[in-house]
Amino acid sequence: MPSTVNRPHYTPEAYLMLERKADHKSEYVNGQIIAVAGASRRHNLIAGNLYREVSQQLRGRSCEAYISDMRIKVDHTGLYTYPDVVVACGEIRFEDRDTLLNPTVIVEVLSASTEAYDRGAKFAHYRRLDSLQEYLLVAQDNVSIEHYVRQGVKWALSEASTLDACVHFVSIDCNMALHDLYDKVHFNESDETIASSK
């Protein structure tokens, strides 16, 4: 997360008014508006692959999958943000007309600039969502996922790092094979070097 020193303070209402007119996405947290950086080719491929596989499995069911442009709000903390993939089920609730309040599953594709935030402060925000049952972190520099599942007041972590592995989303009864998740995603030597230096 970039520094917020000497930045103007915005109300949620001011943020939403600006955001709905903007030609780029921004996150809102603690009164600050923070621009969301563009995503890499691999980031887009991974998010798109996951969205495609999950949305196909949700056909005819009471869950909906959204990709990257669906804004969500964490009521307890006031965070507004755009996860890479979101699934909401049952009675889907919105603030006003376009901000999701009750996601069931959230997926973030990690990048060098957001990895620490997605694992730490952002996940702390997400855990305050009563509706959230599963959180998936997906690496884009190598085959690796971290899958968090809510179990009462605790979160259980499982990991997978081979293309023959499969993730089962318990709350929505969907399966995600890692060879489908990483379809068309190629890792070259420079990627491996960057990943190993983090």
SS (H, E, C) 124-162: HHHCCCCCCCEEEEECCCCCCEEEEEEECCEEEEEEECC
Query: Is 70 part of any domain?
Result: yes
Half-sphere exposure of 155 (CA within 13 A, CB side): 17
Query: Is 147 part of any domain?
Result: yes
Check pLDDT > 90 for residue 133.
Answer: yes
pLDDT reported for residue 190: 53
Average pLDDT score, the chain: 91
pTM attached to this predicted model: 0.90
What value does the mean pLDDT take over residues 3-26?
86
Q: What is the CATH number of the domain that holds 140?
A: 3.90.1570.10
Q: How far is CA 166 from CA 3, 24, 141, 162, in A?
A: 38, 34, 18, 9
Domain assignment of residue 76, given as a range: 39-196
Query: Is 191 part of any domain?
Result: yes
Query: Is 113 part of any domain?
Result: yes
What value does the mean pLDDT take over residues 177-182?
98
Query: Is 140 part of any domain?
Result: yes
Return the percentage of the chain with pLDDT > 70, whole number: 92
Query: Is 23 part of any domain?
Result: no
Whether residue 80 contacts residue 129, with contact meaning beta carbons closer than 8 Å, is answered with no
Token representation of residue 46: 């991974």
* Phi-psi sector, 150: left (phi>0), alpha (psi -120 to 50), beta: beta
Query: Is 132 part of any domain?
Result: yes
Write the pLDDT tens digit of every residue in 112-122: 888 989 999 99
Of residues 130 and 7, more confidence is placed in 130
Q: How many structural domains does the chain have? A: 1
User: What pairs with residue 28 in β-bridges?
Assistant: 33, 80
Query: Is 159 part of any domain?
Result: yes
pLDDT reported for residue 73: 97
